[in-house]
Amino acid sequence: MRLNTFSRLLFLLFFVLPGATASGKNDEDPEWYKYIRGTDSLKLLLNVPSIPEMKKLEIYYGIASYYSSFEMDSAIFYASKGIPLAKKLKEYKTLMRLYTHAGAAHSFIANYDSAFHYFDMLKELAVERGGKRDEAVAIRFYAFTYKKQGKYNTAIDYYLRNLKMAEDEGWTEDCIVALIYLSEINRKLGNLETALRYTEQAEKKCDRTIWGFDWRMSSIFNEYAFNYLKHGDLDNALRYALKSDSINRNRHVENLCYVKGLLATIHLQKNDYDLAMQYALKSYEWADQLKDKNLYAYSGKVLSDVYMAQQRYSEAEAEALKVWMTDSTYIDESRDAVENIVLANIYMRNMERAAYYFNKYAELNALYAEKSFQTTVSDMAVKYESEKKETRIAALEKEQQLYTGLGVAGIILAGFLCVFFFQKHRNDRKEKQLIATRSILDGEMKERARLAQDLHDRLSGNLAALKIELGKYDEPINQLREHLDRCIQNIHGSTHDLMPASLQFGIKVALQDFAAQFPNVRFHFFGTEKRIDERLEFVVYCCANELVNNAVNHSGAKTINLQLVQDSKHVTLTVSDDGCGFDEKTVVKGFGLRSISERIVSCNGNMDVLTEPEKGTEITIELDINNLRFLSLR
């Protein structure tokens, strides 16, 4: 029952109250005014304790939406109230809409850091939730905010990105919005032909039967009017400005400000100063409604122009100073405003003040006329258009040069086949070498294992039995027993060198056991201990054995470090010593180093040697566990 009562109340607020409010207003009032009393009643509903949270969120969103076109502070307030509730209820679509309203409102009142904060959250959530359309909205509002800041290069870059996304996805309305703003920026920079081209593209895409087309067509007509005005065609400029004013229906405040300013400028140039003043004041009222710096600068400059034409120089200077103080980053409006300040002071014979502002005007004029300022932003548009044109031109050229292309393709194909077969022959030869190397490695492993087993089981066992038998005889035989002991130990050592038994427990254990045989060898292990292919373990052990023995026998080192680093992708073996070192250029590699090099090549690994005479030696071997050629041949 409580929910039904709430639903009926919402119906009254949305449908009955707006109609009742409208009956007391005249036709000149904007349509959003009709909703204010209903919106105030909705605010009262927010204080009802029993209101469901979902309905509360709908009210926050509804009020923020109402205010988003004319009252930025209220839009920000109610959007910020709805955002935490939308997060709590996990209403992500509503949350993204609230981010959009809050960010756009902050952008209008020049709180650019806050605007970017909300657009960052919108984009992050859109990417996280897979909303490509919402991501495009965030990009468009980035562009809108950069445009508001006067950062036209960056704004054009973002609008072109937004336009490409919209064209790829077939989002017609998004294309229209991007084209309109691209036209506006290029017009402000004096790129009139580019601006007109974007306006024409936007008009072609605009379907006048869809809801909400009116503000878009109003913007398009504004751009046509601005363009004609720049070319001095006052009749066509007036025609399009009046068309824009007639279809806007008081819905889009920004358009209203621009069109009223347009009409003021056109009538000013037609020398109808009274009508120009009426439109200029109306433009200023709409700018004041949004508290938008861009609109203030535009409407203030128009009003200053009218005062100048009426020879009201002090008022003209005052309005121009407001434009200058609003924000001097808007080059177009600021330049014209400073020009009015200079002229007004000349007419009022304030020559010192006029000279000061003339220097400011010269600075702005130089910046405005600077080629890079005029052309850099259009270069991005040219590049964007060129990409599409190049695609079409390439298709035509391919059609025209088909036979020539086939001939060239045949030559290239023949050359490619020659190279392919030559490379294949080389690869086959290398593959055979690798297979041979693998066979040798396999054979070596088996032979070492067999020989070690024979030495251990047969010869070592027989010598041990002989030792026991000799123990039955007199003292002179003890010397022979000692020799047998040494033989048995040597056999055990040779067996270990051929194929250490500890290798069955992994390369770390085998190297640790190997290093323990030498008093000056220190073993270090880093990484994750994990069993790898037995051939690879064997190669690593053989290399370590050869390198350590080389260092022990030839370097005269006091300390030898044997280091093994192992991770999920690589095995790295490093043997370093503080011995005599050698000169790589003069020393010929012996059989041991050549043997190591061959083993490493067979594993597709790398070996680095760092040494100098009297400065020791460091040899590092790196093997990629996942990219071993001989493993793929198994």
String of DSSP letters for 316-368: HHHHHHHHHHH-TT-HHHHHHHHHHHHHHHHHTT-HHHHHHHHHHHHHHHHHH
Residue 467 lies in a domain: yes
Of 499, 531, 562, the one marking the end of a domain is 499
pLDDT over threshold 50, residue 543:
yes
Q: Mind listing the pLDDT tens digit for each residue in 432-486?
A: 555 555 555 565 565 555 555 555 555 555 555 556 656 665 555 666 666 666 6
Reported as a single tens digit per residue, the pLDDT across 547-593 is: 888 888 888 888 999 999 988 888 999 999 998 888 777 665 555 67
Q: Do 560 and 616 sit in the same domain of this protein?
A: yes
How would you write 476-530 as a 3-class SS string? HHHHHHHHHHHHHHHHHHHHHHHCCHHHHHCHHHHHHHHHCCCCCEEEEEEECCC
Asked if pLDDT for residue 165 goes beyond 80, the answer is yes
For position 630, what pLDDT does the model report? Answer: 42
Print the SS3 string covering 558-603. CCEEEEEEECCCEEEEEEEECCCCCCCCCCCCCHHHHHHHHHHHHC
CA distance 371 to 535: 68
In the prediction, which pLDDT does 16 show?
A: 36
Q: Is the pLDDT of residue 348 over 60?
A: yes
- How many residues can be counted in the chain? 634
Residues with Cβ within 8 Å of 230's Cβ and at least 6 positions away in sequence, in order, are 187, 192
Residues 491, 553, single domain; the answer is no
- Report if residue 14 sits inside a domain: no
Amino acid at the residue 173: E
pTM of the model: 0.52
433 lies in a domain? yes
Q: Give the contacts of 353 (CB within 8 A, at least 6 positions apart).
A: 345
Residue 614, SS3? coil
Most confident of 267-271, 323-327, 492-496: 267-271
CB atoms closer than 10 angstroms to residue 125: 19
Do residue 514 and residue 594 come from a single domain? yes
- The answer as to whether 418 is a domain residue is yes
Which of 499, 521, 536 is the last residue before a domain boundary? Answer: 499
* Whole-Å CA distances, 112 to 93, 105, 122, 182: 24, 10, 15, 20
In percent, the amount of the chain with pLDDT more than 90 equals 13
The residue written with tokens 């509360």 in the block is: 56
Backbone angles phi, psi at 556, to 5 degrees: 70, 30
pLDDT of residue 542: 85
512 and 624 share one domain: yes
pLDDT of 560 reads: 92
- 176-185, 415-424, 612-621: which has the minimum mean pLDDT? 415-424
Whole-number pLDDT of residue 437: 56
Same domain, 444 and 560: no
Do the beta carbons of residue 36 and residue 21 sit within 8 Å?
A: yes
∠587-588-593 over CA atoms, to 5°? 110
Pair 582, 613: CB distance under 8 Å:
yes
Q: Higher model confidence: residue 519 or residue 421? A: 519
Residues 609 and 538 in one domain: yes
Q: Binning pLDDT at 50, 70 and 90, where does residue 374 land?
A: very low
Return the pLDDT at 336: 76
CB 121 within 8 A of CB 99: yes
Asked, for residue 63, whether it belongs to a domain, the answer is no
- Domain count within the chain: 2
| Percent of the chain residues topping a pLDDT of 70 | 67
CB burial class (10 A; 0-12, 13-18, 19+) of residue 178? Answer: buried
pLDDT at 30 (0 to 100): 40
Is the pLDDT at 154 greater than 50? The verdict is: yes
Amino acid symbol at 396: L
Task: Report the alpha-carbon distance of residue 325 to residue 348 in Å, rounded.
Answer: 21
Q: What is the mean pLDDT of residues 396-410?
A: 58
Decide if 511 is inside a domain.
yes
Q: How sure is the predictor about 375, in pLDDT bands with cuts at 50, 70 and 90?
A: very low
pLDDT score of 281: 92
Please say whether the beta carbons of 544 and 562 come within 8 A: yes
Mean pLDDT of 331-350: 79
- Assigned domain for 447 exists: yes
Q: Can you tell me the mean pLDDT for 26-50? A: 56
User: What strand order describes the sheet that includes 617-624?
Assistant: 521-527, 560-566, 570-577, 617-624, 606-611
> Which of these three, 499, 517, 550, is where a domain ends?
499
Are 513 and 479 within one domain?
no
Helix or strand run (H / E) with residue 622 = strand 617-624
Domain CATH for 548: 3.30.565.10
**Other beta carbons within 10 Å of 358:** 18
Query: Is residue 608 domain-shared with residue 526, that is, in the same domain?
Result: yes
Is residue 234 one of the residues assigned to a domain?
A: no
Domain that holds residue 454: 402-499
Amino acid residing at 453: Q
User: Over 90: is that where the pLDDT of 275 sits?
Assistant: yes
Residue 564: the pLDDT is 92
Same domain, residue pair 475 and 529: no
Close Cβ partners of 215 (under 8 Å, ≥ 6 residues apart): 248, 251, 252, 255
Task: Give the up-direction half-sphere exposure of residue 292: CA atoms within 13 A in the CB hemisphere.
Answer: 31
Residue with tokens 């790295």: 572
Q: Clarify whether residues 494 and 483 are in a common domain.
A: yes
Confidence of residue 286 (pLDDT cuts 50, 70, 90): confident
How do 606-611 and 570-577 pair as beta strands? unpaired
Query: Has residue 10 got a pLDDT over 50?
Result: no
Let me know whether 509 and 486 are in one domain. no
Res. 604 pLDDT band, cuts 50 70 90: confident
516 in the same domain as 456: no
